[in-house]
Copies of this chain bind each other. A is one copy, B any other.
């Protein structure tokens, strides 16, 4: 392994000079820099990040802390797109991206990453209503950004959509198409994102004076299968919904499959709107109406916020709201001639 000493020896300067060249210090003459750089190239020198990190107390990496239930998360296209945004920014800014795979739970993952000095900051993917991880990271005063919204009042930077508003608008859209019984199909209820979208849904129903029915609000796990099962429940109700707002596209697809299997036509017998607008929404048949949340943009903003914080710890908490937009396609029936209402 080539070290700074080898380079120094080759150019007949001291290790500190080589170190200064690495940092492009103005105190080193251009000529020396030139010679040192040549030596680095011929020796294939690459700085040892561990050694550097040990003294500078930096890691050159940002950590992605997965929510519990890794697999569920990996399988959701949301994840890839968000990560694509994160890593794009990380790359540009010279950071690597570390996945918190080595621990069994979020708390341990965080401890390992933070106290173990493996990363310079963390992006927390999603939050639960009472989330100890948030307290933990705030208590440690460690650079961090939450992708989502904290469920309780805590000074932490975050990047989020206005999920209440988005779900509110999506629900009103369905109501505007004439639907009087609208179901809500959500993911895990202790996730803030689920609760926010549910709130928006309820708000809309209240506003148009439609009676709410707890049985119309089903929650399941965040997988296609979860949507499938949830939809089965909704369809089994004595007063079954004619439209459903799903809090995730993957759930929406499961719901569509369930409905189709039982002979319901979409959108004629059952209108569906999803959330996230994953790539597949456009391709599917029928194409899925969905609230576009700009997943990649969320990832980009989170990474940028985090890196700004790492570079300037005094920056204070930052909040970014990425706007959403309802993309109307075929699954909600808006493109049909109005039949009800």
Let me know if A24 is at the binding interface, CB within 8 A. no
Let me know if A53 is at the binding interface, CB within 8 A. yes
Let me know if A101 is at the binding interface, CB within 8 A. yes
**Binary contact track A247-290/B, C-beta < 8 Å → 1, others 0:** 00000011001001000000000000000000110011100000
| Most central of A44, A47, A280 by chain B CB within 10 Å | A280
A310 to chain B, nearest CB (A): 14
Establish whether residues B49 and A118, one from each chain, have CB atoms under 8 Å apart when the complex forms. Answer: yes
Let me know if A90 is at the binding interface, CB within 8 A. yes
Let me know if A75 is at the binding interface, CB within 8 A. yes
Establish whether residues A47 and B116, one from each chain, have CB atoms under 8 Å apart when the complex forms. Answer: yes
Contact pick for A87, options B80, B99, B114, CB 8 Å: B99
Let me know if A237 is at the binding interface, CB within 8 A. no
> Which of the candidate stretches A54-62, A148-156, A184-192 sits at the interface with the other chain?
A54-62
Let me know if A169 is at the binding interface, CB within 8 A. no
Q: A71: which B residues are within 8 A, CB to CB?
A: 84, 88
Name the residue of chain B whose CB is nearest to the CB of A113. Answer: B96
Establish whether residues B75 and A279, one from each chain, have CB atoms under 8 Å apart when the complex forms. Answer: yes
Let me know if A30 is at the binding interface, CB within 8 A. no
Q: How far is the CA of A114 from the CA of B50 in the complex (A)?
A: 12
Q: Known A96-B99, A97-B98; judge A1-B88 contact (CB<8 A).
A: no
Q: How far is the CA of A77 from the CA of B77 in the complex (A)?
A: 7
Q: How far is the CA of A46 from the CA of B103 in the complex (A)?
A: 13
Contact pick for A285, options B53, B61, B96, B285, CB 8 Å: B285
Establish whether residues B102 and A48, one from each chain, have CB atoms under 8 Å apart when the complex forms. Answer: no
Establish whether residues B80 and A84, one from each chain, have CB atoms under 8 Å apart when the complex forms. Answer: no
Q: A253: which B residues are within 8 A, CB to CB?
A: 280, 283
Establish whether residues B279 and A46, one from each chain, have CB atoms under 8 Å apart when the complex forms. Answer: no
Q: A94: which B residues are within 8 A, CB to CB?
A: 102
Establish whether residues B101 and A99, one from each chain, have CB atoms under 8 Å apart when the complex forms. Answer: no
Q: A77: which B residues are within 8 A, CB to CB?
A: 77, 80
Q: A91: which B residues are within 8 A, CB to CB?
A: 70, 101-104
Establish whether residues A51 and B48, one from each chain, have CB atoms under 8 Å apart when the complex forms. Answer: no
List A residues at the B interface (Cβ < 8 Å). Answer: 1-2, 44-51, 53-54, 59-61, 70-71, 74-75, 77, 79-81, 83-84, 87-88, 90-91, 94-104, 111-118, 224, 253-254, 257, 260, 279-280, 283-285
A-B contact pairs, 27 of them (CB 8 A): A2-B115, A46-B114, A48-B115, A48-B117, A50-B50, A50-B53, A60-B102, A61-B98, A61-B118, A70-B88, A74-B83, A74-B84, A75-B80, A75-B279, A79-B80, A87-B101, A90-B101, A91-B104, A95-B102, A96-B98, A96-B101, A96-B112, A97-B101, A224-B279, A253-B283, A257-B283, A285-B285
Top 5 closest pairs, chain A to chain B, by CB: A46-B115, A87-B101, A74-B84, A97-B99, A91-B101
